[in-house]
Structure 1
Amino acid sequence: MTSSMIMVMAYLLDRWLGEVKRFHPLVGFGWLTTKIEHFFNFHHATPKTTTLILPRLLGVLSWLILCLPLPILYYYFHQNQLLFWCLDALVLYFAIGLKSLTLHALQILNPLNKKDLVTARHFCGYLVSRKTTDLSEQEISRATVESVLENGHDAAIASFFWFIIGGIPLVILHRLANTLDAMWGYKNQRFIHFGWCAARMDDLLGWPSAKVTALLYACQTNYSCSKMINALKNGYQQGRHYKSLNGGWVMATGASVLNFTLGGTAIYHGKAVTSTPLGCGNSVVKNDIFRSINLVNKAVVILIFTAFCSQLLHYFYGGNL
């Protein structure tokens, strides 16, 4: 029962306070990550004939240095006391960014409702890595919805999932790995080999939580089993062809539940990239941004409620099951 209370407290802290504006732990982690990368990633400027083994080994070593010590120390020193329960709730709160994701999306939706594309493009650039300066209203809506559905997993559901599985040490491990992927997981000359481990570990840690996220999205089909099955089927079939397997799963499933289609062409770092269509139904429009926000928030509530009910049953009937 304690873990459910910790999740509820972390959820409420995020809802009340939002993202920490100053002294967020991940800011310090980002600073340390930059220092480590500058020290170990000294092969990126060498000719392409250089072997890929050493940069990858150095990337693996850097990942281990940055991601393993803190979860191990937390696990070693953790005690089953009120102080550590409060600390667990605080760390879980730091790990999630549900309200922040909602506010960022609304920063884009509100200008769209006022036909202010300049402001909408500006704030859309905060949320996505594609070029936003020339996006149409429909393209801004698509970019925002894709980010909301994918980051619903990365910024919220994954942390709750790993807390249920293994407590705060796994939450910390996933959050650090996900942050490293965001910083190093690029297929450019600087990170194509050095960031290989960071990208693969994020894929590995995100694999089970992405499937749970897809299921949580698919549950919201107004009790239509056929629509739920179709949404999960699209997640499986379409997600395999998307650039990010985990992201493809959750976006395809979420888009199918909400009955619109994602994917298409976008400009990344000066290059046009065409993504496979995800979901089914009409083209996404600006009103779908709010629908996507609701889908993600309800998925988090369903997960916490399910965990609470499961632990409640185990508490009362665990010895007789």
Structure 2
Amino acid sequence: MLKWTALALVLGFFIDLLVGDPRWLYHPVRIIGKGISFLEAHFRRWFPKTQKGERIGGFLLVIFICAGSAAIPLAILYVAYKIHTLLGIGIETFFCYQMLAVKSLKQESMRVFEELEKGDLKGARYAVSMIVGRDTQSLDEVGVTKAAVETVAENTSDGIIAPLFYMAIGGPVLMFFYKGVNTMDSMVGYKNEKYLNFGRYAAKLDDILNYIPARISAWLMIAGAKLCGFDSKNAVKIFKRDRYNHASPNSAQTEAVMAGALDIQLAGNAYYFGKLCEKPTIGDAIRPVEKEDIPRANQLLYVSAALGTGIFAVIRLGIQGLITLL
């Protein structure tokens, strides 16, 4: 079933660039999200509202979602390849395409830019609220721009490079497994009173699975910065200095490169659910943040994603060649 994964990876990437995520097409992540919500509601009812009870419920959530996220695409691919190789390749390509978010990430962030271009700060706040978890209603133009640039940087890893990495290693099954964990983290991985215990295992597993991809993403973005004509030397400098300026061991890896490449300062304090979260800054304010940094961030996103696709396709071919020899 992994014989054609390199081809499916490349085809899936190009389909994503062309099509993106049309709203009429029901996305698998939405199915995973509904499963998470369903199981969370039941586990919270079944287990006591104590630290131990919530952690047991959260642990079972991880087990069920990980198993389901991997087993369902595995079964579909197995049947498809049994019917015909071309059907299997088609399904594998479709799965890869659906797990990537290059065009949709660009489109959503560029909506923020378009609202800022029109001078509609309220519209820009709403647009950026669709792609970030922080409170946006009081952000000024600089704050809105920074939020959009930061989410492009972070999701270059979470939404593109990490899925490609796991696709190269274990095909769509491992790719879906990763997306199941990543979706859990985005829904229950908060360090607040509600999810501190229940989301503990999902958040930890997400940190583990993103550890290597986040660092690969950072170096791909540094190479991309060079190709785009951005400040690649400063990108390396800020990456080495500020890559751990975040509560997550992974999120600041790509944000640091983005800040350095664009010669701007990102991160800093932000409000989440009405509460101030004090966070260190990332990068140096060599120049002021401006709305044009959003399309610049997307340029770096596209180049980094293309580099990653090529490299991971070659890696997959190498793995397949090694398996064949053995």
User: Same fold judged by TM-score > 0.5?
Assistant: yes
CA gap of 1:306–1:119, structure 2 versus 1, over 3 A, is same
Cα shift at 1:258: 2.1
Distance 2:48 2:60 in 1: 19
Name the count of aligned residue pairs: 314
Q: Structure 1, residues 87-134: CA drift from partner, whole Å, max 9, x if none?
A: 111111111111111111111101111211111111111111212112
Distance 2:116 2:169 in 1: 40
Cα shift at 1:316: 10
Distance 1:69 1:75 in 2: 10
What is the SS of the residue equivalent to 2:55? helix
CA RMSD of aligned residues (A): 2.8
Distance 1:115 1:36 in 2: 43
- Name the amino acid aligned to 1:4: A
Cα shift at 1:312: 7.1
Q: Bigger shift: 171-180 or 310-319?
A: 310-319
Distance 1:234 1:276 in 2: 13
Q: Structure 1, residues 147-196: CA drift from partner, whole Å, max 9, x if none?
A: 11111111111111111122111100111111111110112222110110
1:135 aligns with 2:134: no
**Matched ranges for 1:85-234 at <5 A:** 85-222=89-226, 228=232, 231-234=235-238
Cα shift at 1:292: 0.3
- Name the amino acid aligned to 2:56: L
1:285 aligns with 2:287: no
Distance 2:57 2:112 in 1: 39
What is the SS of the residue equivalent to 2:15? helix
Q: Structure 1, residues 274-300: CA drift from partner, whole Å, max 9, x if none?
A: 321212333321111100001011101
- Name the amino acid aligned to 1:71: A
- Name the amino acid aligned to 2:32: F
Distance 2:314 2:39 in 1: 43
Q: Tell me if the contact between 1:158 and 1:206 (Cα under 8 Å) persists in the aligned partners.
A: yes
Partner of residue 28, structure 1: 31
Q: Bigger shift: 183-192 or 237-246?
A: 237-246
CA gap of 1:82–1:241, structure 2 versus 1, over 3 A, is same
CA gap of 1:184–1:31, structure 2 versus 1, over 3 A, is same
TM-score after normalising by structure 2: 0.87
Cα shift at 1:271: 1.2
Partner of residue 37, structure 1: 40
1:247 aligns with 2:246: no
Q: Tell me if the contact between 1:44 and 1:190 (Cα under 8 Å) persists in the aligned partners.
A: no
Partner of residue 61, structure 1: 60
CA gap of 1:203–1:236, structure 2 versus 1, over 3 A, is farther
Q: Percent same amino acid at aligned positions?
A: 27
What is the SS of the residue equivalent to 1:87? helix
- Gaps (5+ residues) in structure 1? none
Q: Bigger shift: 304-313 or 142-151?
A: 304-313
CA gap of 1:8–1:203, structure 2 versus 1, over 3 A, is same
- Name the amino acid aligned to 1:169: V
What is the SS of the residue equivalent to 2:277? strand
TM-score after normalising by structure 1: 0.88
What is the SS of the residue equivalent to 1:283? coil
Distance 2:108 2:128 in 1: 8
